[in-house]
Structure 1
Amino acid sequence: MGGVTLIVIGGLPGTGKTTLARLLAARIGAVHVRVDTIEQAIVRSGLARHPVGPAGYAVGYALAEEHLRQGLTVIAESVNPLAVTRDAWRDAAVRAGVPAREVELVCTDPAEHRHRVTSRAVDIPDLPLPDWQQVVDRDYEPWDRAHIVLDTARQGPKESLATLLRRLDA
C-alpha cells in the first residue's frame, strides 16, 4: 500500500466494519476514526440525541484530515450510506494531499447478515444498535465510482483482513 493514505470503510451494520477496521489499524499502524464513537460522545455531552445527524461525520472528516496532515494513515469507518458522505471523506484526503481508498463491506448471505445484526453486543456504552428491520430499511445509496467491495459472508475476520490487504496492495 505504501505512504500515508485515507482508507474509508463503509457498509451496512453487521457487515464487519468495526472488526475489520480494528484489525487493519493494528496491522498497518493506522489511526482508526469511528463515527459511532464520535456520535455517542456527542450524545453523552448532552448536545444531541440519536440520530445525531451530520455532526458525527463532520467531526470524523476533520479528525481524519488532521491525522493525515500529521503523516498518519487513517481508517475512517462508518456506514457511509450516501454519496455526499463518501465525497466528503475523499475531499478530506484531497485537502490533506493524500490518496483515498474506498472499501465497501457487504454480507451477501442474508441469514448470516441477520444473525450478525441480531446477536452482536454493544461495544460503546449506551449506543443504540439497529434491529434487522432498521438495517433492511436503511437509506443506502449505491456507490457511483470504483471501489473495493469485500464480501464478508463466508469468511472470518482474519480471512477478510488478508483479502483486504491483498486488494489494497493491488
Structure 2
Amino acid sequence: MLIVFSGLPAVGKTTISRLLAEKTNAVYLRIDSIEQALITSGEIKQTEMGGAGYFVAYAVARDNLKLGRMVIADCVNPIELTRDAWKQIANQSASKILNIEIICSDQIEHQRRAETRKADIQNHQLPKWSDIIKHDYDKNNQVDFKIDSAQHTADESVNMIISLLKML
C-alpha cells in the first residue's frame, strides 16, 4: 500500500507520517529530505528543483511497492499533477493508495508552529509563515481521509490511521 500525506507546511504531516512509518515499519519518503539531498549534492539548485524531488520519490516508491512494502510519502502534494502521479505509481505497482490530507484549522496554532519549528534536515530552509499562507495548494479531490491536527494529537492521528488500515 502507498500512503500519501498531503498538506501545507507546518500542519503536522512529518510528525504524523514519521510516527506512522515507525509503528508500521513502512518505507518513509520525505520530499524535503530528497530535495535537500539534491541541493547538497551540488547537481541542482533550489531554484531549479521543479519536480525533481517528487520524481526521485516516485521511483523509490515504485521499487518498494513492487517488493510488497508499505510506502509512506510525506509531501505538500499541492496540485492535481502530483496527486495523479502518486495514483499512477500505485497503479503501476498493483498497490492500493490511501490519500491522507493533514490540515490545521486553527490559523493561530498553524502560524505558531510555522514560526517556532526548527529544521531537522541539515541546511534545510523552512518556509516562513508569509510564504505558507501564499503557497499554491489546490483543493484536493483525491482525499480518502482528512485529519485536523488542531483537533487531534499525532498519536491520536496515527491510531485513527492504523484503525482505518485494518478495515481496508
Contact 1:150 1:164 in 2 (8 A): no
Matched, 1:91 2:88: yes
Calculate the aligned-residue CA RMSD, in Å.
Answer: 1.1
The answer (yes or no) to whether the contact 2:99–2:142 under 8 Å persists in 1 is no
- 1:54 corresponds to: 51
- Where do residues 60-139 of structure 1 align in structure 2 (5 Å cutoff)? 60-139=57-136
Total equivalences in the alignment? 166
Q: Structure 1: how far apart are the matches of 2:143 and 2:52? A: 27
1:6-42 C-alpha deviation (Å, 9 max, x unpaired): 0000100011111111110111110001111110010
Equivalent residue number for residue 15 of structure 1 = 11
Answer whether contact 2:101 2:143 (CA < 8 A) is retained.
no
Calculate the TM-score normalised by the size of structure 2.
0.95
Classify the secondary structure of the residue corresponding to 1:24: helix
% same residue: 39
TM-score computed with the length of structure 1 as normaliser: 0.94
CA distance in 1, matches of 2:13, 2:150: 12
Q: Which stretches of structure 1, 4 residues or longer, exceed 3 Å deviation after superposition?
A: 167-170
For the pair 1:40 / 2:31, whether they are aligned, the reply is no
Separation of aligned partners in 2, 1:135 and 1:14: 8
Structure 2 unmatched runs, 5+: none
